[in-house]
Structure 1
Amino acid sequence: MESVFSGQKISLYLGDSIVLDNLNFEILAGEKVGLIGSSGAGKSSFLSLLNGQWQSTDGNLNIWGDSFAKLQGKRRRRVQRKIGTIYQQLNLVESLAVVHNVNAGNLGRWSFLKAAVSLFFPLEQQRVHWALEQVGIPEKMFAKTSELSGGQKQRVALARVLIQDPEIILADEPISSLDPQLSRDMMDLLVDLCDRHGKTLVVSLHSLDFAKSHCDRLIGLKQGKILFDLPADAVTDAQLDHLYSDSPLY
């Protein structure tokens, strides 16, 4: 399979703090990779490097074989449009209708004028309806986003990514605010969509059960370092105990 991301000796410093320390990894096209570890282990920072929001202090991150740091201008924007991110905070505009929040996935390729017109006369409604059908809430297309339940808002955020049509989906704790049944529904939906549309998934999760059941591989992060990078079914209880314990890394 084609390599999507590869990192060599990646480190990230924020001020005097080492957030990520000497990471080496590779993520292949079509894989579903789970990032696990305690709060503060570096999972969100890892995702922020992968989508280009942050740049590593040391080391080199490659995306599709090219150095991410050396991509500039239109070429960098073109690559970043192929990466869709579902943020833990969702980043929805609550005062707008669902159709506008979903259409935000088009902003990377729409002109400013087209985006402004769409706020008054929603464009590409057929495509928005398709995306909302994929996540099971087409009837909410013109509902006010603030009136939706937490689970429905999660689905709007996923529909926005589908409209963007990226090759890679990064999801930062996409089920953190959901009850167990909605969490399972959301993870089933996310994995099914990635499988059906051939997308690569990198997802950070607090739930070990969902990480093991829905991901091909697990990367265990502790104190900004990779403790293990293994197939999900190869991770042992002893490794998980060490990952979440207060004991030193080594």
Structure 2
Amino acid sequence: MTEPIFMGRSLSCHFRGVAALTELNFKIYPGEKVGLIGASGAGKSTLLSLLNGQQQPTQGELLIWGEAIATLSPKGRRRIQRQLGTIYQQLHLVESLAVIHNVNAGHLGRWSFLQAMFSLIFPQERPLAEAVLKQVGIPEKLFAKTSDLSGGQKQRVALARVLVQNPAVILADEPISSLDPQLSREMMDLLVQLCETQGKTLVVSLHSLEFARSHCDRLIGLKGGKILFDQPTTTVSEAQINHLYGEQSIY
């Protein structure tokens, strides 16, 4: 049987005594496209920050490829994190730099400090940067100033940066929050296509229930920091959705 990439065991996370996540138990397997859904403040972004190792659980255990990430050395944690690519809601792009430099940030986990500094003067790995920008549909923006791009183009640069990293897992935190419906569909189509053709696992938090249903094969519904349901997308009922976003309980 295939081993899970992520396994949460009674996973809880508190901030200044306030519970952001409580007693989560789940497994995420290779090749899955998992949507995290729920109202604002439900804990979706916190869960993603645990999955990429930025946050550590207050209680419980998170295993990534069978290793408890909280107990790993800094070197061991970096080894795991190199296989986890994150698209942040705020994108974390350096607006004053050319696109190629933001794309090349995907190399930082394996480049030395000197190589990274040298690349700011003489951009390294240009053929790879060109290739991933072509994959996301904006090859002509290689040397454009990032601040001059549209919101949708910036989202594509953030995705290209992750593709340069070439992780096994893509973690995306509201990747379409600032896009119009057409660009949202294009971005979600692109994410799913790249994961399916390259054999990557996708975990994505979404406010849009429509895109969660159309692009994810499994949904984890979070409410008040707890998992309300975790099941195949096609089996999630309207009653469950109404409970997730409303006050009426069906349990």
TM-score where L is the length of structure 1: 0.98
| Whole-angstrom distance in 2 between the partners of 1:92 and 1:215 | 26
Q: Does residue 70 of the first structure (1) align with residue 71 of the second (2)?
A: yes
Asked whether the equivalents of residues 10 and 21 of structure 1 are also in contact (C-alpha less than 8 Å), the reply is: yes
The residue aligned with 1:93 is: 94
Q: Which amino acid aligns with 2:200?
A: K
Q: Which amino acid aligns with 2:222?
A: L
What is the SS of the residue equivalent to 1:100? Answer: helix
Distance 1:111 1:171, change over 3 A: same
Distance 1:119 1:240, change over 3 A: same
- Of residues 66-75 and 26-35 in structure 1, the stretch that sits farther from structure 2 once superposed is 66-75
The residue aligned with 1:229 is: 230
Q: Tell me the CA shift for residue 247 of structure 1.
A: 4.1
| Whole-angstrom distance in 1 between the partners of 2:50 and 2:108 | 21
The residue aligned with 1:29 is: 30
Q: Tell me the CA shift for residue 75 of structure 1.
A: 1.6
| Whole-angstrom distance in 1 between the partners of 2:28 and 2:148 | 38
- Match runs of 1:211-230 below 5 Å: 211-230=212-231
Residues 85-113 of structure 1 show CA distances to partners (whole Å, capped at 9, x for unaligned) of 00000000000000000000000100010
The residue aligned with 1:148 is: 149
What is the SS of the residue equivalent to 1:24? Answer: strand
Q: Does residue 112 of the first structure (1) align with residue 117 of the second (2)?
A: no
The residue aligned with 2:6 is: 5
Q: Which amino acid aligns with 1:88?
A: Q
Residues 23-62 of structure 1 show CA distances to partners (whole Å, capped at 9, x for unaligned) of 0000001100000000000000000000000000110100
| Whole-angstrom distance in 2 between the partners of 1:93 and 1:210 | 28
Asked whether the equivalents of residues 222 and 249 of structure 1 are also in contact (C-alpha less than 8 Å), the reply is: no
Structure 2 unaligned blocks of 5 or more? none
What is the SS of the residue equivalent to 1:241? Answer: helix
TM-score where L is the length of structure 2: 0.98
Q: Which amino acid aligns with 1:201?
A: L
- Match runs of 1:151-162 below 5 Å: 151-162=152-163
| Whole-angstrom distance in 1 between the partners of 2:138 and 2:250 | 44
The residue aligned with 2:84 is: 83
The residue aligned with 1:122 is: 123
Identity of aligned pairs, percent?
68
Distance 1:69 1:249, change over 3 A: farther
- Match runs of 1:153-192 below 5 Å: 153-192=154-193
RMSD: 1.0
Q: Tell me the CA shift for residue 66 of structure 1.
A: 1.0
What is the SS of the residue equivalent to 2:222? Answer: strand
Residues 129-176 of structure 1 show CA distances to partners (whole Å, capped at 9, x for unaligned) of 011011010110000000001000000000000000100100000000
What is the SS of the residue equivalent to 2:194? Answer: helix
Count of equivalent residues: 250
| Whole-angstrom distance in 2 between the partners of 1:236 and 1:36 | 14
Q: Which amino acid aligns with 1:56?
A: P
| Whole-angstrom distance in 2 between the partners of 1:150 and 1:212 | 24
| Whole-angstrom distance in 2 between the partners of 1:247 and 1:173 | 26
What is the SS of the residue equivalent to 2:5? Answer: strand
The residue aligned with 2:242 is: 241
Q: Tell me the CA shift for residue 248 of structure 1.
A: 6.2
What is the SS of the residue equivalent to 1:175? Answer: coil
What is the SS of the residue equivalent to 1:3? Answer: coil
Q: Which amino acid aligns with 1:72?
A: S
Q: Tell me the CA shift for residue 246 of structure 1.
A: 3.0
